[in-house]
Amino acid sequence: MNLYKTALSALLLAPVVGGIGIHSIQQYQAMKEQAEALTMQTEQSILEVETLLNDELDEENIFASNVANEVIRFHVRANSDSEEDQALKLLVRDAILSELGTELALAESKEDARTIMEDNLTRIEEIGATVIKEAGYDYEINAYMTVEEFPMKAYGDLMFPAGEYEALRVDIGNENGGNWWCVMYPGLCFVDTVGGVVATDGKEEMQQVLTPEDYEKLLFSPDEDTEIEYRSLIWDAWFRNS
């Protein structure tokens, strides 16, 4: 009851004129009742806010899980953050996407796409090794399927939630450089995602594998005349009870 004690103390510390008498006792009782009412109101507001936040968190977790169940991400990690190693990372990425793009486009399900990737892990390493050698480096390269945490990431007008995703991961050399992320299936990263453009076919397939509600949540492209309002759940709950 720390909130109660704080509120009561604040009220009792107000200046009091005159001696202790019936009037003072009545004032004390009134102050105590006010403090108790304020404490109850505050605790109820906090409880409502916690409930709202938990409900939103549960809904967001379900959404992230639904998306993760339908996609396979692509994760390339550079040898270092040097300008040369970062450029090499993109060359390796482009070569892999170019070689596997046609085959993955024929995948009719996530399982088909996973099989294609698993069957071509050695080939992926060979593709990357060729690019690395031609660029004048001797870095080791490893390709494997994994499950790992991905941050929230936008590809064009699609905003993917953070969470655990199955992924094709490619590590170059010491793998101490910055990451490159994309969506391998459905194929969203076979065009210039840096420029805010994603593959139309991939978006259409994404729309097919997700429910209409989840796909709508994935979209992030408000109209130009849309006003975005930022609100605080805490203040909303507080003033609703005040």
For 200-238, the DSSP string reads HHHHHHHHHHS-HHHHHHHB----TTPPP----HHHHHH
**136 and 95 within one domain:** yes
Task: State phi, psi for 184 to the nearest 5 degrees.
Answer: -80, -40
**82 and 199 within one domain:** yes
State the DSSP H helix or E strand holding residue 172, giving kind and residue range, or none if neither: strand 163-172
**31 and 82 within one domain:** no
State residue 21's pLDDT score: 57
Residue 228 lies in a domain: no
**77 and 151 within one domain:** yes
Domain boundary among 44, 65, 86: 65
3-state secondary structure of 13: coil
Residue 151 clears pLDDT 80, i.e. is over it: yes
3-state secondary structure of 79: coil
Q: Model confidence over 64-118: pLDDT tens digits?
A: 788 888 889 999 999 999 999 999 999 998 899 888 888 888 888 899 999 999 9
**100 and 47 within one domain:** no
The strand order across the sheet containing 163-172 reads 141-150, 163-172, 72-77, 179-185
Q: Determine the structural domain holding residue 194 and report its residue range.
A: 72-209
**135 and 22 within one domain:** no
**36 and 58 within one domain:** yes
Per-residue pLDDT, averaged over 39-61, amounts to: 61
Q: What DSSP state is assigned to residue 19?
A: -
Domain boundary among 65, 94, 116: 65
State residue 191's pLDDT score: 44
Q: Model confidence over 154-186: pLDDT tens digits?
A: 777 788 888 899 999 999 999 888 888 888 888
pTM for this entry: 0.62
How many domains does the chain fold into? Answer: 2
**79 and 182 within one domain:** yes
Mean per-residue pLDDT of the chain: 75
Per-residue pLDDT, averaged over 204-211, amounts to: 79
Q: How confident is the model at residue 133 (pLDDT cuts 50, 70, 90)?
A: very high
Residue 60 lies in a domain: yes
Residue 88 lies in a domain: yes
Residue 17 clears pLDDT 50, i.e. is over it: no
Q: How confident is the model at residue 121 (pLDDT cuts 50, 70, 90)?
A: very high
Per-residue pLDDT, averaged over 219-239, amounts to: 45
* 72-77 and 163-172 beta bridge pairing: parallel
Residue 78 lies in a domain: yes
**110 and 185 within one domain:** yes
167 and 147 Cβ atoms separated by less than 8 Å: yes
Q: Is the peptide bond preceding residue 186 cis, with omega within 30 degrees of 0?
A: yes
Q: 86 exposed, middle or buried (CB, 10 Å; 0-12, 13-18, 19+)?
A: middle
Residue 234 lies in a domain: no
Per-residue pLDDT, averaged over 112-131, amounts to: 95
Q: How confident is the model at residue 29 (pLDDT cuts 50, 70, 90)?
A: confident
State residue 190's pLDDT score: 52
Instruction: Identify the residue with better confidence: 54 or 31.
Output: 31
**92 and 52 within one domain:** no
Q: Which amino acid is at 170?
A: V
Residue 95 lies in a domain: yes
Domain boundary among 42, 65, 88: 65
Q: Which amino acid is at 99?
A: E
Residue 59 and residue 99: Cα distance in Å, rounded? 38
Residue 38 lies in a domain: yes
**110 and 35 within one domain:** no
State residue 39's pLDDT score: 75
Residue 103 lies in a domain: yes
**136 and 202 within one domain:** yes
